[in-house]
Amino acid sequence: NQTSKRLICQCRISPHLSRFKQLLYIRWKIYVLHLLCYTLIPAIILIASNTAI
């Protein structure tokens, strides 16, 4: 099951990239996703609630 997940990931990213670059790319995407979820979205909600008051 783990190998099939890895194969799916490798297919989505261009296969001629090195293993290190693939890992870096995946980690970067996860980092950006977490940045959006945990900082930008709460900040927007906070600003919106402050302007509503």
pLDDT in tens, 17-35: 677 887 888 888 899 888 8
Banded model confidence at residue 36, pLDDT cuts 50, 70, 90: confident
C-alpha 41, offset from chain centre: 14
How many angstroms separate the CA atoms of 11 and 15, rounded? 6
Number of domains in the chain: 1
Look at residue 11 and tell me whether its pLDDT is greater than 50. Answer: yes
pTM of the shown model: 0.45
| Rounded percentage of the chain residues whose pLDDT exceeds 70 | 66
